[in-house]
């Protein structure tokens, strides 16, 4: 028998609204022996992302729900500890979707596993943030769905998070005016002073519609949707003719007790005349560009051109509380869990 013991966070019962005590549970089991063609990976860093919350519900969305008793989904940076494969060597660093657990066994033919090409000046955890899935989401959604042109105004909600961070800084690089929406004066100051956006509107200040209008005197050409709700309603009247709306998600609705009764961005946008070009997208649409875009973003991190912030929770046992806080915007920048060195 292997001497490894695996702690994992599993879905114990489906949350009704906000996650409560007992919805998630930590289990511990021995790790089984490897078969030929398999590897054992040790989680070093765990990414916490909003999409995990809808998957805890018993409803079919763009991804299957997590089963009761199953490990919570999520991307990690991991190190290969044992290998019975020629494809991976012990010590290789990878990103994979092994979820909220300390160890994972998987076949060397598993999908969505990528070796990390380490670069000086790019910390490992950045491959889960601005140089990882959230960064690629921001980049692809803006460039391939939003299709920015120099001189246009780009608005992004959740602007200080890893997706919004990349959207705004990429928009500036493309010659656009970048306007963020974030919660609280500290996040708004950071978005303008450190990330280099032209303006940032504090949705908690109580004057969202007026402040957004003042920040976008020429209207809005691209709205990158992360939040939904009041932000979408404030953006809608300011959308210019020919505007594009890449819809990444709408985190404001993820804790709703009855998701079927939520007003989504699609309801708001379809009520406009004319209806702006808009669509929901998944970063996996550009999976064939995974390594290429990761390199672009990692190079920008290494050069200091792409700036970002992180909030780090220590230990797998603290992942549930960190996740609940992230859904309420308590984190600043990318929310990570440091699991092991």
- Where do the H-state alpha helices sit in 121-174? 133-140, 162-173
Stated pTM of the model: 0.90
Domain residue ranges in the chain: 5-128+309-338, 133-284
CATH number of the 133-284 domain:
3.40.50.720
SS3 content of the chain, % helix, strand, coil (to 5): 30, 25, 40
pLDDT digits (tens, 9 = 90+) for 106-117: 999 999 999 999
Architecture of the CATH domain 5-128+309-338: Alpha-Beta Complex (3.90)
Secondary structure of residue 317 in the 3-state scheme: helix
CB atoms closer than 10 angstroms to residue 55:
17
334-338 vs 93-96, strand pairing mode: unpaired
pLDDT digits (tens, 9 = 90+) for 208-248: 999 999 999 999 999 999 988 899 999 999 999 999 999 99
Secondary structure of residue 314 in the 3-state scheme: strand
- Percentage of the chain lying above the pLDDT 70 cut: 96
pLDDT digits (tens, 9 = 90+) for 99-148: 999 999 999 999 999 999 999 999 999 999 999 999 999 999 999 999 99
């Amino acid at each position: 028998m292997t001497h490894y013991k695996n702690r994992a966070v599993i879905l114990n019962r489906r949350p009704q609204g906000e996650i409560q005590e007992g919805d998630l549970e930590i289990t511990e089991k021995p790790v089984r022996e490897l078969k030929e063609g398999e590897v054992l990976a040790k989680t070093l860093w765990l990414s916490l992302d909003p999409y995990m919350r809808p998957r805890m519900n018993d409803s079919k969305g763009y991804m299957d729900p997590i089963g009761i008793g199953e490990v919570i989904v999520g991307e990690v940076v991991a190190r290969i500890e044992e290998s019975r494969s020629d494809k991976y060597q012990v010590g290789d660093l990878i990103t994979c979707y092994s979820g909220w657990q300390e160890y994972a066994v998987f076949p060397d033919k598993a999908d969505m596993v990528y070796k990390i090409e380490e670069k000086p000046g790019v910390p490992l955890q950045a491959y889960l943030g601005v140089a990882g899935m959230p960064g690629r989401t921001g980049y692809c959604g803006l460039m391939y769905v939003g299709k920015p042109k120099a001189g246009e105004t780009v608005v992004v909600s959740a602007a200080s998070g890893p997706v919004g961070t990349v959207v705004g800084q990429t928009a500036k690089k493309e010659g656009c005016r970048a306007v963020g929406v974030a919660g609280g004066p500290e996040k708004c100051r950071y978005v303008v002073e450190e990330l280099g956006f032209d303006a940032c509107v504090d949705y908690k200040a109580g004057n969202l519609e007026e402040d957004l209008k003042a920040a976008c005197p020429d209207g809005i050409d691209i709205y990158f949707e992360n939040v939904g709700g009041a932000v979408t309603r404030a953006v809608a009247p300011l959308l210019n003719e020919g505007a594009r709306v890449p819809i990444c998600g709408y985190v404001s609705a993820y804790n709703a007790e009855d998701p079927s009764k939520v007003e989504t961005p699609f309801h708001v946008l379809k009520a406009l005349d004319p209806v702006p070009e808009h669509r929901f997208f998944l970063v996996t649409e550009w999976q064939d560009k995974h390594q290429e875009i990761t390199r672009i973003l990692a190079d920008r991190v290494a050069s200091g051109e792409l700036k970002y912030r992180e909030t780090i929770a220590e230990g797998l046992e603290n992942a549930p509380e960190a996740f609940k806080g992230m859904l309420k915007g308590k984190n600043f920048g990318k929310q990570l869990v440091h699991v092991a060195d």
